Amino acid sequence: MSLTAEQLFAVKGLVIIITGAASGLGLAISQTMAANGADVILVDRNEKELRRVSEEIIPGAEVAPVDVADSDAIRRIVDGVVARKGRLDVMFANAGISGGAGIRSPQGRIENVDLAAWSEVLAINQTGAFATLQAAARHMKAQRSGRIVVTASVGGLRGATATAYAYAAAKAAVVNLVRQAALELATFDVKVNAIAPGFFRTGLGGGRLLDETHTAPLEAIVPMRRLGMPHEIAGVSLLLASPAASYITGSIFTVDGGITAA
């Protein structure tokens, strides 16, 4: 069967939920899906920014101000979308927080890791990712179709002095969570994959990745010698939501300027 590029990467009319949609990579993914005709539902715990996005950036987009650490709330959002629209085609489980200083900073070293902060990172980046995946999978198994795309990180694939312990642990867990879910859901025609970004210029980490004094050492370890821009996540996100990825599941797509190749 011969398909055009437009047919291969078509997401028009698909019902797509994106968590962590108010900023950074989640916003870039949301813009990409909406620009290509998808019916997007934007989820984020920052209600003010979420409303601004739906008014100024993606006019008319449906929004749901929810913290993914609240598993009951994320389940209600997903159940409500399916009840209203009849299905859920794609879930981007993207919400996450940075976890603070990496191990190259004194406050990020093992003896200084605060366990309350550790628990917060895992509640959002690991348990929140699972709760989001679980809520989507329930419906996708029943409808025998769907795509789940989880945002992992190169920090979950290799050690890095710029990465916090909790962030590294949570994202490593997400990588194998994706593989495990892909095995179970494959016979239901539900594909589960992950995008593992490197360093991107986003507001993650309190804006440190927008500060040149902080990013210069990071750029030095990236073979392309620069940080990624949010729009550079668009291609792989569109691929994984589209018919072009019909035989891809359990895969981790690195978008990192060559970090994992070094």
Across 104-117, b (16+ Cβ under 10 Å) vs e yields eeeebeeeebeeee
Please say if 247 is a catalytic residue: no
Among 126, 250, 130, CA closest to 190: 250
DSSP string, 112-178: G--HHHHHHHHIIIIIHHHHHHHHHHHHHHHHT-EEEEEE--GGGTS--TTS-HHHHHHHHHHHHHH
Which amino acid makes up residue 183?
A: L
* Residue 1: Cβ within 10 Å count: 3
Q: Furthest-apart CA pair in the chain: how many Å?
A: 58
Q: How far is CA 164 from the centre of its chain?
A: 18
On the 0-12 / 13-18 / 19+ scale of CB atoms within 10 A, 48 is exposed
User: 92, 118, 165, 167: which one is catalytic?
Assistant: 167
Give the catalytic positions in this structure.
167
